[in-house]
Amino acid sequence: MLPIPTKGLSTEAMTKLSQASDNEYTVLYFPWYESSPTLRAILAMYAKKYTFAHPDVGWVSLKLNTPYSHLPILYEASATSETLELVELSVIEIYLGKVSGLKQIPEWTLFDEQALKENSLNGNYVGDMMSVADLRTATIIDAVRAISGGKLISREKIPAIMAMCDHVQQDPKYADWKASDQWKALTKETITRFNLSPA
């Protein structure tokens, strides 16, 4: 049985919950690797108590009852029975990385910087076409810049990554996404939900 998320957790309660050392983690996801190997590795390496739960109904039925119609879902339950629910793979990975003391995005980008330099600074990780890696890095950089007011990303320290992001920005479909009401709402909700201060 899955934990029941606590409704209306305050920012203070979420912070306190994330700092506890005896929390139990449950991840609801399909029973295969797909896009969750990092998430699984973080839990296996750093969590004392964790469970991987698998959907017991088909995706079409399950989708109607998941936040934002997405998996995986992370439930973090404290000893005081408060339960935080997080959705979206990248959000879960960043959150677990932070509470586990792993390097965060600004340091991680230095490794990608070298990979991009090795590809002659053409704006792509591999070859001369945009890849999922290009898009994933650009979206992460853009999200971090949006919610931090640009404070956590330095063009001087990661010029090859920023050149790749500039290259992705030139794609009309990506530009449309960044200009959409959905992107703006996502940024605003993230800033509000986690009490961030981008200015």
The stretch 6-26 carries a mean pLDDT of 84
pLDDT at 104 over 60: no
d(CA 27, CA 85): 10
Above pLDDT 70, what percent of the chain?
Answer: 76
The stretch 56-71 carries a mean pLDDT of 78
d(CA 164, CA 119): 11
d(CA 165, CA 169): 6
Residues 93 and 112 in one domain: no
Question: Mean pLDDT score of the chain, rounded to an integer?
Answer: 76
CATH number at residue 54: 3.40.30.10
Residue at 87 is within a domain:
yes
The stretch 99-109 carries a mean pLDDT of 58
The stretch 89-108 carries a mean pLDDT of 69
Band of the pLDDT at 20, cuts 50, 70, 90?
confident
Band of the pLDDT at 106, cuts 50, 70, 90?
very low
Per-residue model confidence (pLDDT) at position 142: 80
Pairing of β 83-87 and β 24-28: unpaired
Question: What is the domain range of residue 77?
Answer: 11-100
Band of the pLDDT at 147, cuts 50, 70, 90?
confident
Record the pTM: 0.54
Count of domains observed in the chain: 2
pLDDT at 88 over 70: yes
For residue 91, how far is the Cα from the chain centroid? 2
Residues 93 and 140 in one domain: no
CB neighbourhood size of 122 (10 A): 14
Looking at residue 36, the DSSP 8-state letter turns out to be: -
Residue at 3 is within a domain:
no
